[in-house]
Amino acid sequence: MRASDIAPCVALVRADPIVGPRYSPVIELLPSVWARLLGQESFQAVVFCTSDRKSTRVIGARFSTFVTDDFMRRLKTAPMVWIGPELVQRVSQGRSPLLSDQEVAKANSICDGLNMVVLAGTFDRTYLPKLLDVYNKGYVSVLERSSGFCVKEFITQAESEEHLQAVLNTGHLLLCDQEKRYVEPRADQIRNLLQEPHIIGITRNLVAQRLGAWVNQMFQYKQPYLHLNRGQQRLLLAAMNGATDIELAAQLNVSEAAIKKRWRDIYDRVHDRVPELFSAEESPESSTKRGKTKKQRVLSYVREHPEELRPMARKAARRIA
């Protein structure tokens, strides 16, 4: 999400027949809260668009967050609440339950891990015939967001019948308020689920008992091996879409010389830790320069190892380096 996407996304929330009423008490707060959260490690807003030769149109959005243990316990305790509006209310009051950038790095560096909460998103209902496919793409975006992070528990709330079907099909369970545990939902519970606050989710421990479920991918975590610093990680994340060094410099608000230095430092680090990734001609000592090939090799490697792009506390990185 960019700042320019906020207004059309708020309009979609207003128009949504299920999610809109949930947000109605705090709908006027949404623009300022989203603007405040943009850029934080603990907040990821993915916007879906359709485009033709004349224009691009926002048709949906999906939001994922990393929250404190206290907020996670509150969400799972009766009386349950609609998560998105509760979060908006708290952020607007200066009581944000989202982790700071430092807290995300710390939680991602220890075995305890992160609480991941996906807020109810919204999609343009005129795309109803293709909505299940859109929801599946939305779930893929959540998987991409969680990939490489050490997630210990994941929760969400259904935003439509199609979304509920997609989430349950991936292996998530329903939190039973009375028993305080995740269970397979009964048919009567599914029928009434959209009307009252509820929790759908799963934990790292439960995933081990549900082999083959798609949701397992969310909890596949490996410790990073390269231990890149955050500036290097941000460069690689920004470079995924094929931007040039000049474009990367503008995007990251640094000089082109700084971008080139970061690339050199990344190549040196990769060569030191994964020397087999480069050929002899691509080693730091070689006079032959094949920057484009080296860049593609590195980008291919971190795509397959997303943990290398996630924040980690410096002390933890030094300890396992």
Does residue 156 have a pLDDT over 90?
A: yes
* Stretch 68-81: mean pLDDT: 94
d(CA 49, CA 65): 21
| Stated pTM of the model | 0.84
d(CA 127, CA 59): 8
Q: Which of 120-129, 265-274, 278-287, 288-297 has the lowest mean pLDDT?
A: 278-287
Over the stretch 202-249, which tens digit does the pLDDT of each residue have?
A: 999 898 887 777 788 888 888 888 989 989 999 998 998 888 999 999
Work out the pLDDT band at 60, boundaries 50, 70, 90. Answer: confident
Does residue 130 have a pLDDT over 70?
A: no
Q: Which of 40-44, 157-161, 288-292 has the lowest mean pLDDT?
A: 288-292
Work out the pLDDT band at 288, boundaries 50, 70, 90. Answer: very low
Does residue 284 have a pLDDT over 60?
A: no
The verdict on domain 3-219 having CATH code 3.40.630 is yes
Find out whether 135 and 162 touch, Cβ atoms under 8 Å: yes
Please name the residues in contact with 119: beta carbons below 8 A apart, sequence gap of 6 or more: 63, 64, 65, 83, 84, 87, 156, 157
Does residue 73 have a pLDDT over 90?
A: yes
For the chain, domain boundaries: 3-219, 230-304
Task: Write the CA distances from 26 to 9, 143, 230, 262, integer angstroms.
Answer: 15, 28, 34, 43
Q: Which of 30-34, 107-111, 287-291 has the lowest mean pLDDT?
A: 287-291
* Stretch 79-83: mean pLDDT: 94
CA dihedral 234, 238, 242, 247 (to 10 degrees): -100
Q: What is the mean pLDDT of the chain?
A: 85
* Stretch 21-50: mean pLDDT: 92
Confidence at residue 135, expressed as pLDDT on a 0 to 100 scale = 63
Work out the pLDDT band at 46, boundaries 50, 70, 90. Answer: confident
Confidence at residue 133, expressed as pLDDT on a 0 to 100 scale = 66
Does residue 107 have a pLDDT over 80?
A: yes
* Stretch 40-54: mean pLDDT: 85
